[in-house]
């Protein structure tokens, strides 16, 4: 699920917080969801890895929202095969740059390389081609949840390697007056500096990334 896929249509995702068994992935696929994701849940990495491997086998992408901007929190899901990574509470250019440094391979970032789940447990070799494909196909998404993040959204989105920005309306509702929140929504969703990148909103009824 790269940024081109997000631009073509409005993909809908299923939050996976407590159910870590195979049927939930298959039912999400049958229900027409485009991806599943989990952040505020209690699924451990072993359970998450199983879900992501099954998802890949049935063409069901996974989007992992990490608990914080930390190298281990980004690298483990990526090595386990997630097809997209999202970092919450991004509000500064430095955080966006750090995200790319840990989420992307050279020359965009400094992600370390190994085989395993993210390569389908295939044979070794063709490392340069695998890294190039991952940089292009595994989106790094900045989640904008604060006033400061909205103020800096253009600068955050201009960082090379940031593929999408997602705003969180539920978080804004708990913090901002309605008129301010509406203006912030327009700012995050409508001033897109690059045609190859996308911005979207996450709503309480589900998760969506829209090419606006």
List, by residue number, the catalytic residues: 40
**DSSP one-letter string for 65-96:** E-SSS-HHHHHHHHHTT-S-EEESS--SHHHH
> Residue 165 forms beta bridges with which residues?
142, 199
Q: Output the CA torsion sign for 106, 112, 114, 120.
A: negative
Task: Give the tokens for residue 38.
Answer: 């989990």
Q: Are strands 164-168 and 198-203 parallel, antiparallel or unpaired?
A: parallel
2: preceding bond cis by omega (within 30 degrees): no
Q: Which residue has the tokens 């103020």?
A: 151
Cβ count within 10 A of residue 205: 7
202 to each of 13, 75, 188, how far by Cα in Å? 10, 24, 12
31 secondary structure, DSSP code: T
Contact (Cβ atoms closer than 8 angstroms) between residue 36 and residue 63: yes
């Amino acid at each position: 699920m790269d940024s081109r896929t997000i631009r073509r249509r409005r993909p809908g995702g299923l939050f996976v917080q407590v159910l870590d068994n195979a049927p939930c992935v298959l039912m999400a696929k049958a229900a027409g969801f485009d991806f599943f994701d989990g952040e505020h849940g209690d699924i451990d990495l072993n359970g998450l890895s199983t879900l992501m491997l099954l998802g890949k086998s049935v063409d069901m992408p996974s989007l992992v929202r990490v608990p914080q901007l930390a190298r281990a929190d980004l690298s483990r899901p990526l090595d386990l095969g997630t097809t997209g990574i999202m970092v919450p509470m991004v509000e500064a250019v430095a955080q966006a740059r750090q995200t790319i440094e840990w989420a992307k391979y050279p020359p965009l970032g400094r992600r370390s390389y190994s085989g395993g789940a993210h390569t389908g447990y295939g044979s070794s070799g063709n490392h340069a081609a695998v890294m190039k494909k991952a940089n292009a196909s595994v989106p790094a998404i900045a989640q904008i949840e604060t006033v400061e993040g909205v103020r800096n959204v253009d600068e955050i989105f201009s960082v090379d390697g940031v593929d999408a920005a997602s705003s969180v309306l539920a978080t804004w509702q708990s913090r901002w007056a309605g008129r301010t929140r509406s203006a912030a929504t327009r700012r995050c969703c409508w001033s897109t500096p690059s045609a190859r990148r996308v911005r979207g909103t996450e709503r309480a009824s589900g998760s969506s990334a829209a090419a606006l």
